[in-house]
Amino acid sequence: MVDKLLEVRNLRVELQTKDGIVPVIDDLSFDLDYGESLSFVGESGCGKSMTALALMGLLPEKVGRIASGSIKLEGRQLANASPEALRKIRGNEISMIFQEPMTSLNPVLSVGEQISEVLRLHQKMSVKSAWKRAEDLLDAVNIPEPKRRVHDYPFQMSGGQRQRVMIAMALACEPKILIADEPTTALDVTVQAQIFGLLQDLQEKTGTSIILITHDMGAVAQMARKMIVMYAGRPCEIGEVEQVIQTPRHPYTTGLISCVPHLDDAITDANNRLSEIPGIVPSIREFGSNKCLFASRCKHQMEQCWAERPGLTQNSNKQAYACWKRETTDAS
């Protein structure tokens, strides 16, 4: 029997750019258990969404590729799987909610047609059975009057309702893994809370594992059990959410937490003022360099940070972090 649902080891994803080949994911390893929730967090461009595309086998053709490493789903290797094999897995075993539902949904098809199309394609359902299942799915994601709203087009729904339709489509085939890529982008705070609550409820009912991709540390604290903090294509801290938020070991993680008011009073400003991480994210041309890519923004930087890339070190709590000052500071 396979112990882990998903095992990723030493994953390296490269993109062809005008400046040459760049590793946008550089030596990423993690596991995902059955029914578990895992979050990737970091600023824009850190590699979160590219990780999701690699897992889905949706890297841009002729531009992106998995250069090395492995992705195993219940022991089956996906990193070098054929396009046909990946098509069978997408939707059935791994599904994804994309960032912007208005551009992800087809504007000229009703939401019922779009959900039932997924079921007919992957589950070989009849038109009648797929349509009934679409109604049930809209009801499951709390769309009011599902038998009527199943005939609606995306423009007839609010942003929150469109995102619920995307969740219904992603869960239509009862996948083992649901990847939610910034699922509350452009939604107001109240609707964001509703969407996260819905995902939690559906996970409890279905047992689906969730990979949440976000830049919002508050969402991570609400949704996930484990988290991976990404910076410039590299994992800089991995651990249980509660441990990482209470005792961050990497300076970048500390900076992210301090940007969220009241997330952790021991880290945030005593007057609850919002702070910021100084400096800017390194250019993509620097990705893959043999140095700490956070050094230019770090108050703990020292000579070794510029000369050699720190590897991940795990403490007794299984919290891993990549920082040269780990022996002498808690990176706060």
pLDDT by residue (tens digit) across 181-215?
999 887 888 888 899 999 999 999 999 999 999 98
Half-sphere exposure (CA, 13 Å, Cβ side) for 127? 1
pLDDT reported for residue 307:
96
pLDDT reported for residue 327:
52
Do residues 142 and 198 make contact, with C-beta atoms less than 8 angstroms apart?
yes
pLDDT reported for residue 189:
84
Domain extent listing, the chain: 248-332
pLDDT reported for residue 208:
96
pLDDT reported for residue 329:
46
pLDDT reported for residue 185:
81
CA-CA distances (angstroms) from residue 247 to 201, 236, 295, 321? 29, 14, 20, 12
pLDDT reported for residue 124:
94
Residue 229, strand partner residues? 41, 237
Say how far apart CA 86 and CA 82 lie, in whole Å: 6
What percent of the residues of the chain are helix, what percent strand, and what percent coil, each to the nearest 5? 35, 25, 40
Residue 41, strand partner residues? 214, 229
pLDDT reported for residue 328:
46
pTM tops 0.85: yes
pLDDT reported for residue 224:
95
Residue ranges in the chain modelled with pLDDT below 70 = 1-2, 262-274, 326-332
pLDDT reported for residue 10:
97
Q: Of 112, 110, 152, 156, nearest to 135 (Cα)? A: 112
Identity (one letter) of the amino acid at 287?
Answer: F
